[in-house]
Structure 1
Amino acid sequence: MSAEEWRNLPIQRWEGGRLQPSMDSLALEEPLELLVRRNGVTEPVSITMRSPGDDAALAVGFLHGEGVVRQRQHVVDIEVDSGKVIVGLSDSCSFDIDQLKRHFYATSSCGVCGRASIEAITANEPPEIDRDVPEVSSDMLASLADRLRSAQETFEKTGGLHAAALFHSDGSLHLVCEDVGRHNAVDKVVGHLFLDDELPASSSILLLSGRLAFELVQKAAMAGIPVVAGIGAASSLAVDLARQRGMTLVGFLSEQRFNVYSGAWRLSG
C-alpha cells in the first residue's frame, strides 16, 4: 500500500460523550477519463470516479466488459497521464463508439434494465463456461473470506474500499484489486488478466468484498470466470444471469456458512 492511495486528514471524533480532535485515514477518490484511439482518431468514452492506481488495467477491463476488446492484440498501446487513459486499438477492433457512450451513460445514471441486459450480455458473445470445471472444495471456499480481508491493505488502513480478488481453483491467491467503486475493482482484475493474456479465466474464483450485483456477475461472465462469490447477498438479476451462463454464484460467504444461488454441482464436501 502506498501513501498515494490514502491520506490523513484532521477530523472531529465523538467518543466518550464528547467531540475531540483526531486524525483519520481516507481512501483517495479522483476522476479518470477514458479515451480510445483508432485509425488515428481519439474519442472520449467515459469519466469514472476511482481510486488512483492500476488505471491501465481499469480502462482495459472496462472495455473488455463492454465487448470492445476481446483479444490481447486488439490493444496496441496504452497512454496513462494524470487523470486520463488513452487506449490505442488495432484496426481490426470493430465497435460502435456512439453505442458504447450511450450504454455507459445509461448504466451510470439509471442502472441496468432487467431482461434486456441479460440479452445484451449474450449479444456480446461471452465465452462459453464449462459446466464441469472447476471442482471447488466447499471448505476451501469458506476460508477465502478471511483471506480476502487479510489481503485488503488499503481497506485495513481506511475502511473505505471495495475489493475483488481472483483465486485459483485450489485456493491460491492470484491477485487482488481495491477501489472506491466495486465495479472498478472487478475491471482492474479483468484488465490485469487481459493484459497478461490470461483470459478466459476458466478455472478461477472471483471473490467480492460486498454484494453480488448484476453488473459484477456480467463482467465475470465476459471474462469466462465460472465461480463468483461475495461477502454479501446476490440480486435476483445476478442469479438469473449466473444460472443462464452455468456459473456458480455464492453469497454471504463466511467460514461458517454460505448460500449457493447457482451451480452447486461444482462444490464438493
Structure 2
Amino acid sequence: MGRVTVRRPVERWTGAASVSRVDTLAVEEPLQIRVGGRELTVTMRTPGADFDLVAGFLLAEGIIGGRDDLVAMKHCGDDDYNVVDAGLAREVAFKARAFPTSSACGVCGTESIADLAHRARWDVAADETRVPAEVLGSLPGLLREAQAVFSRTGGLHAAGLFTAEGQLRCLREDVGRHNAVDKVVGHALREGLLPLSGHVLLVSGRASFELTQKTWAAGIPVLAAVSAPSSLAVSLAEKAGITLVGFLRPPTMNVYTATRRVSQ
C-alpha cells in the first residue's frame, strides 16, 4: 500500500512573525481502474482500501450487481499500487464507457434518476428502520473521533457506516468524499453485507446526487451529511425512499425526505 501521509516543510506565520516547521499532508495519487485489463477510469484518491474503492465504484455504476460478479482484484505490478485490475464473472456483460476524472466530483455515468430507478436492486423505501434523533446527533462526534488521518492532516473527507443504534461498523477516509463512500460500500460488498438495511451512512461534507446514488446502490436507508444537500440529491432520495439528513450539527439537523425514520 502507498503512503497515506507525507511530511513537508512549511513556514507558519502568526501576525508579523514566522517560524519554520514540518507539516503533515494527506497524500493524493491517481488510481487507474481496469476491468479485465481494459482501462475504465482514473480517479485521484488517498492510497489505502483500494480494492474496497474499486468494488464500491463498480457497484455504484451498475457494472456489477453484487459480490459474485466480482471474481478477482489485483494491483498491477509488485511496486505499482496505483493500478487495480478487476476480474468479472463470465456472465457479466461489460461495456467500457468514459468517466470524468476527479477526487472531488464523483463518477457521473448515470444520466437520470429514471435510469437509476430502472436498475435499482434494493427496495430501500420498504425499510422500516427508525433512528432516534439523539443517536443521529451523536454520529458526527463519533466520526471525528475515529478519523485517525484527519487528526494529523485536516485534509481528508470521511464516510462512516453506523447501525441505527449508533455503532460504527466501518470508516474510510480519502481526499475525495465520493471515494470515501465507495470504500465503505466496497468493504460491505466484499464482506457479503449488502443490502445495508438498518444502517446510516454519514459523510463529512455535503450530500450530492452521486453520494445519494451510491447510498441507494448499497441499500442504505439513511444518508446523513454535516453540510447541505443539493436539490438533485433531495429529488433522488425522495424517489428512492431514502431518509436524507443535512446540516447535521448537534443539536440541530434538517430532515428532507422519508422523515418517518427519525424518531424522538
Whether TM-score is above 0.5 comes out as: yes
TM-score, normalization by structure 1: 0.91
Judged with a 3 Å threshold, the aligned counterparts in structure 2 of structure 1 residues 110 and 56 are, in CA distance, closer, same or farther, namely: closer
Confirm or deny: 8 A CA contact 1:143 1:254 kept in the other structure.
Answer: no
Which residue of 212, 226, 232 maps to 1:237?
A: 232
Partner of 1:257: 252
Letter in 2 for 1:242: A
Matches within 5 A, 1:216-235: 216-235=211-230
Matches within 5 A, 1:177-216: 177-216=172-211
Structure 2: distance between partners of 1:95 and 1:36 = 8
Structure 2: distance between partners of 1:8 and 1:110 = 27
Q: Which residues of structure 2 form unaligned runs of 5+?
A: none
Query: Once superposed, what is the RMSD of the aligned Cα atoms?
Result: 2.2
Which residue of 72, 75, 93 maps to 2:70?
A: 75
Tell me the alpha carbon deviations over residues 171-191 of structure 1, each in whole angstroms, 9 at most, x when there is no partner.
111000000000000000010
Any idea what SS the aligned residue of 1:258 has? strand
Any idea what SS the aligned residue of 2:3 has? helix
Judged with a 3 Å threshold, the aligned counterparts in structure 2 of structure 1 residues 11 and 63 are, in CA distance, closer, same or farther, namely: same
TM-score, normalization by structure 2: 0.92
Confirm or deny: 8 A CA contact 2:125 2:240 kept in the other structure.
Answer: no
1:17 and 2:7 aligned: no
Bigger shift: residues 157-166 or 247-256 = 247-256
Letter in 2 for 1:24: D
- Give the share of equivalent positions with the same residue, in percent: 44
Partner of 2:134: 139
Letter in 1 for 2:9: P
Structure 2: distance between partners of 1:132 and 1:90 = 30
Partner of 1:57: 52
Structure 2: distance between partners of 1:93 and 1:163 = 31
Q: Which residues of structure 1 form unaligned runs of 5+?
A: none
Any idea what SS the aligned residue of 1:31 has? strand
Partner of 2:30: 31
How far the C-alpha of 1:19 sits from its partner, in A, is 2.8
Partner of 2:165: 170
Confirm or deny: 8 A CA contact 2:103 2:179 kept in the other structure.
Answer: no
Any idea what SS the aligned residue of 2:181 has? helix
Letter in 2 for 1:89: L
Partner of 1:266: 261
Structure 2: distance between partners of 1:76 and 1:162 = 29
Letter in 1 for 2:228: A
Confirm or deny: 8 A CA contact 1:29 1:49 kept in the other structure.
Answer: yes
Structure 2: distance between partners of 1:214 and 1:119 = 13
Aligned pair count reads 259
Tell me the alpha carbon deviations over residues 114-138 of structure 1, each in whole angstroms, 9 at most, x when there is no partner.
x942122123334111445211111
How far the C-alpha of 1:109 sits from its partner, in A, is 11
